[in-house]
Structure 1
Amino acid sequence: MNIKGIDVSQWQGEINFNKVKSGGVDFVILRGGYGKYISQKDPYFDKNYSHAKKAGLNVGVYWFSYAESETDAKEEARVCLEVIKNKKFEYPVYFDLEEQTQFDKGKAFCSSLVKCFCGELEKAGYFTGLYISSAPLKKYITKEVAERYALWIAEYGSRCTYRGSYGMWQYSCKGKINGISNDVDMDTSYVDYPDIIKNGGFNGYKKH
């Protein structure tokens, strides 16, 4: 199963999601925001969500972390929950971990941030995941955490070299998609997340 997707934020500007959909894209992961303050919500998030849904795309979310402690990660989760409430998502809510200052604190620290953020989201009924590049995933995330949450791995090139199991691969940041005026990240999903999430009653859906 190779499902075509993209991920977007305010940096893509105005998007024609009908053209995106007609170009063969099945899903889009939207940036909800970053950090631990509601003012850091992505200014295009609500508009992107509404227009992507109307176009018939499956939707997920990512939240960019600057957490310097477990407390920060929980605060980021709290703000993320505020931003995404009353919406439905067919793809996971991803914790986006890529700051070098976080990696510098080591494997136990990075893994604890993931568990804190994702744990708060799970309590609220969300299906969660981790977005991270391949190299830091191998170095700074414990096997337990890597196997516990849905993995979305960034590694640009012809293949992903991570040997563990993962659900999504971001393979380019230079994609050209009809309906988007500048470069966009390109993704492939290998898992039927909409089926898992809807049937499991996650992300705003009622369990079947």
Structure 2
Amino acid sequence: MRRPAVVSVTALGALVASTVAYADGIDLSHWQGTVTWSKVKADGVSFAFMKATESSNYVDPTYAKNVAAAQAVGIYHGGYHFARPQVGTAVAQARWFVAKAGPFNTAGTLPPVLDLEVTGSLTVAQLRTWTTTWLTTVEELTGRTPIIYTSPSFWRSHLGDSTAFHHYPLWVAHWGVSSPSVPGGWPRWTFWQRTDSGTVSGIGGRVDMNRFNGSTADLAALALKTGGSTAPAPPGPTIPTGAATTVSLAASRTTSAINGSVTFSGDLTSTPAASPTAPTPKPVPVATRTVTLSARDAGSSTWRTVTTATTSTTGHFNVSVRVPRSATYRVSWPGDSTYAASQSGLVPVTTPGRTVQSIDLHATKPRVRPGEQVMIYGHVTAGTKGLAGRTVRIYKKPLVGGRWTRIATKTSLAPTGWYSTTVRPLRGRIYKAVTPGTLWYVGDTSNQLTVRMR
């Protein structure tokens, strides 16, 4: 029997107040929905990074509106590009980003940001080259020095912990710690994403929270403004500071059939502070709390909520879900006035590739009189096995030129994957059948079938 994969991390409540007061900010995208920026400002947020673009063909639909609204209330703002690295695409992605998010030269605007979270299957050397090309292109186009957003583990694993990028300020993503780990030999972090579970007035649900490593005068200068102070920044929104908790996550299997059932389980616990009578206290269960299981699909940057579960009197939770595709899972506890928020480590669950299906097309008569009935039919198969329940769309077009027109939609039948329809052509026609792709199947188009007049 395969042993469950189990991971856990220390609570976000372990974040403690530093002796230095950092300016607080957020980062967000369209997933946060409508934002009331006046309330965000009133809650002590000094800056906000917003998703602007992804790859070379996507623009976040809320970016322009959020930039204008943040600027109107005096929040420093900046745009980030979610990278989709592929060989030869760095310049195109950089130009797309600057064209949609630029020009980055107005007062109140923070430097452009490269968000590095996926590799695009590039090697370490290829990803270093891609990253360098994107950064230098954006710097040439904007005159600003871009910021690199990354996590310590990603930078060390996929860029070989390179020390060649110190020219660019570091925005490090490291949750559940009192001080972030700095990869790549950077002498310091400039921004620190400390949690994805913050609560800020004016924003529904949770939001990523960040700190700036410097004074308000330093932050103003970075945003092309004057002013601020060299004194410590005033505190912004806080993360719940109840008793620290730890939440674990286990998967009953880490490889599943497409749409197979996987059971996720874990425990939410809190460890009391040590005392003379209990120098090594044992964890105690956190009962009757609702935890949320989330998933990030392979190749995606977005987390989606899968389901919720309530911990038992022993702090345990257990939930079974269908796994439609390869994804990484985590469970989170948002915290309350008694217990601080916490988040598990990541558990990947992989599914096999989509099934390759084939579709063919035949006719009972290759030649007919005008208006004579003829059956056109075929089978949807995977290898030698018929596939039932597959959608089949049948199209026709003239013998010469013309466009394809759908004439029927059928469903393949057991046990052979059979489908059919009848037609009464008045003149020669060409037919084809298409079974569309889904999460489980690769789409396919049949041979083209010609029916002529006698």
- Is TM-score (shorter-chain normalized) higher than 0.5? yes
Cα-to-partner distance string for 1:108-141 (whole Å, 9 max, x where unaligned): 2222222111111111212201111111122333
C-alpha displacement of 1:194: 3.2
2:176 matched to 1:185?
no
Pick the aligned partner of 2:82 from 64, 70, 78.
64
What is the aligned partner in structure 2 of residue 50 from structure 1? 68
Matches within 5 A, 1:124-139: 124=141, 125-139=143-157
What is the aligned partner in structure 1 of residue 197 from structure 2? 174
Cα distance between partner residues in 2 of 1:75 and 1:181: 34
More helix, by proportion: 1
Matches within 5 A, 1:1-208: 2-37=22-57, 40-69=58-87, 71-86=88-103, 88=106, 90-99=109-118, 101-102=119-120, 104-124=121-141, 125-141=143-159, 142-145=162-165, 147-158=166-177, 159-162=179-182, 164=186, 165-191=188-214, 192-196=218-222, 198=224
Please say which of residues 59-68 and 107-116 is displaced more in the overlay: 107-116
Contact 2:110 2:224 (C-alpha < 8 Å) held by counterparts: no
Structure 2 length as normaliser, TM-score? 0.41
Cα distance between partner residues in 1 of 2:113 and 2:133: 13
Cα distance between partner residues in 2 of 1:190 and 1:122: 22
C-alpha displacement of 1:90: 3.0
One-letter code of the match for 1:152? W
One-letter code of the match for 2:175? Y
DSSP-derived class of the 2:172 partner = strand
Cα distance between partner residues in 2 of 1:86 and 1:61: 10
More strand, by proportion: 2
Tell which structure's C-alpha radius of gyration is larger. Answer: 2
Contact 2:76 2:110 (C-alpha < 8 Å) held by counterparts: yes
Runs of 4+ in 1 over 3 A off after TM superposition: none
Cα–Cα, structure 1 residues 14 and 78, in superposed 2: closer, same or farther, change >3 Å?
Answer: same
DSSP-derived class of the 1:11 partner = helix
Structure 1 length as normaliser, TM-score? 0.86
What is the aligned partner in structure 2 of residue 203 from structure 1? none
- What is the root-mean-square deviation in Å for CA atoms of aligned residues? 1.7
DSSP-derived class of the 1:149 partner = coil
Cα–Cα, structure 1 residues 47 and 196, in superposed 2: closer, same or farther, change >3 Å?
Answer: closer
C-alpha displacement of 1:86: 4.5
Cα distance between partner residues in 2 of 1:193 and 1:137: 25
C-alpha displacement of 1:66: 0.7
Cα distance between partner residues in 2 of 1:68 and 1:86: 25
What is the aligned partner in structure 1 of residue 428 from structure 2? none
Contact 1:92 1:193 (C-alpha < 8 Å) held by counterparts: no
Cα distance between partner residues in 2 of 1:8 and 1:132: 16
Cα distance between partner residues in 1 of 2:195 and 2:103: 31
Cα-to-partner distance string for 1:72-112 (whole Å, 9 max, x where unaligned): 1111111111112355353221111111x43x533222222
Please say which of residues 43-52 and 115-124 is displaced more in the overlay: 115-124
Please say which of residues 132-141 and 168-177 is displaced more in the overlay: 132-141
Cα distance between partner residues in 2 of 1:116 and 1:122: 10
C-alpha displacement of 1:49: 0.4
Cα distance between partner residues in 1 of 2:189 and 2:130: 19
DSSP-derived class of the 1:198 partner = coil
C-alpha displacement of 1:176: 0.5
Cα distance between partner residues in 1 of 2:156 and 2:167: 15
One-letter code of the match for 2:110? Y
One-letter code of the match for 1:51? A
Cα distance between partner residues in 1 of 2:98 and 2:78: 13
Gaps in structure 2 of 5+ consecutive residues: 1-20, 226-454
DSSP-derived class of the 2:224 partner = helix
Cα–Cα, structure 1 residues 174 and 154, in superposed 2: closer, same or farther, change >3 Å?
Answer: same
Number of positions where the alignment pairs a residue of Structure 1 with one of Structure 2: 193
Cα distance between partner residues in 2 of 1:85 and 1:188: 24
Cα distance between partner residues in 2 of 1:196 and 1:47: 22
Contact 1:114 1:130 (C-alpha < 8 Å) held by counterparts: no
One-letter code of the match for 1:172? T
One-letter code of the match for 1:95? L
DSSP-derived class of the 2:164 partner = helix
